Structure 1
Amino acid sequence: MDPYTVPARTQIGHVHLKVSDLQRALDFYQGLLGFSLTQRYGNQAAFVSAGGYHHHIGLNTWESLGAPPAPKYGVGLFHTAIVYPERKDLAIIYKRLVEAAYPLTGAANHGVSEALYLDDPDGNGVELYWDKPREVWPRTADGGINMYTRHLDLDSLLSELR
């Protein structure tokens, strides 16, 4: 088979999650994170989005109603990554999480991005981040991307709101 490279403008369109309680999941994705409900199928499924897109996140209980979280150590989704357009937007959602006393599982500066990590009510990992401008991404001597994981200064992030 000939080698193939995915086109540069390719995007990942949405994630569809199995949840145990649809309303609890909506309270998190819609109520806390601020996604808009675009469609709901009774108490079995819902679709939420940002900016009027048909859906960025699908939520359903078709095979998971009342189920416990998936085991932490096993095969499956590590996290859903939600990218914010600007650092200030990440600061706004961080402030919402602090005000709601919603726990983070981590926070990191990756050189190319700054990220907050948390779990949704079903234990699904969620990364909230913004990409730094490409011209400031750390590079290796041969021009490759040199990502890393360092402490994210959360006070500096909140300073975006001042």
Structure 2
Amino acid sequence: MPAKVPADTSVGHIHLKVTDLDRAIAFYGDVLGFTLTQRYGDQAAFLSAGGYHHHIGLNTWHSRGAGPAPERAAGLYHVAFLFPDRASLGAALNRVLAHGTPLDGAADHGVSEAVYFSDPDGNGIELYRDRPEADWPRDPDGTLAMVNQPLDVDALRAEGAA
């Protein structure tokens, strides 16, 4: 019988290799809004939301001064940060765009709304919010029917500015 993880299992944190620790701290802190919880000189830092010990680890142990990972290689495609509601997602999107970070994409997946971009080291990032499970699209037999439709980015931004 295949092993199964408990249903309430979640991803605890990510740890990213970055080339410039100060630049990465500024991006994840000032732009995305995470709080620096601990720093180890110019080698590593940890950031969180809501007082947790860390959601994001950043390090330069093997990457200081290196270029971004090749696009066509195995590795992290993107990390996704789940926001509690549409207004907070819109506010985060407004900060990203005000920083001058271009979007790589935006989508309405039926179950969620998401925006995609890259951090200064080329790591893919998704910011998203889930819709209530009762609103998720389903096929007639009840199976999940996710979609990939255009997202009204202007409306999301307006909600985040309110």
- Structure-1-length-normalised TM-score: 0.96
Counterpart of 1:139 in structure 2 is 138
Matched, 1:159 2:144: no
Counterpart of 1:46 in structure 2 is 45
Matched position secondary structure for 2:106: strand
Q: Deviations over 1:117-154 (max 9, x none)?
A: 00000000000000011011001122111111110001
What's the RMSD between the two structures over aligned residues? 1.0
Which is worse superposed, 150-159 or 78-87?
Answer: 150-159
Matched position secondary structure for 1:7: coil
| Counterpart AA for 1:91 | G
The percentage of aligned residue pairs carrying the same residue is 57
Number of equivalenced pairs: 161
Matched position secondary structure for 2:157: helix
Matched position secondary structure for 1:143: coil
1:13-162 equivalence runs, <5 A: 13-160=12-159, 161-162=161-162
Q: What CA distance in whole angstroms lies between the structure 2 residues aligned with 1:124 and 1:91?
A: 21
Structure 2's unaligned 5+ residue stretches are none
Q: What CA distance in whole angstroms lies between the structure 2 residues aligned with 1:16 and 1:130?
A: 22
Aligned-pair CA distance for 1:3: 2.1
Q: What CA distance in whole angstroms lies between the structure 2 residues aligned with 1:9 and 1:124?
A: 27
Structure 1's unaligned 5+ residue stretches are none
Matched, 1:3 2:5: no
Q: What CA distance in whole angstroms lies between the structure 1 residues aligned with 2:58 and 2:147?
A: 32
Q: What CA distance in whole angstroms lies between the structure 1 residues aligned with 2:116 and 2:77?
A: 11
| Counterpart AA for 2:8 | R
Q: What CA distance in whole angstroms lies between the structure 1 residues aligned with 2:158 and 2:134?
A: 23
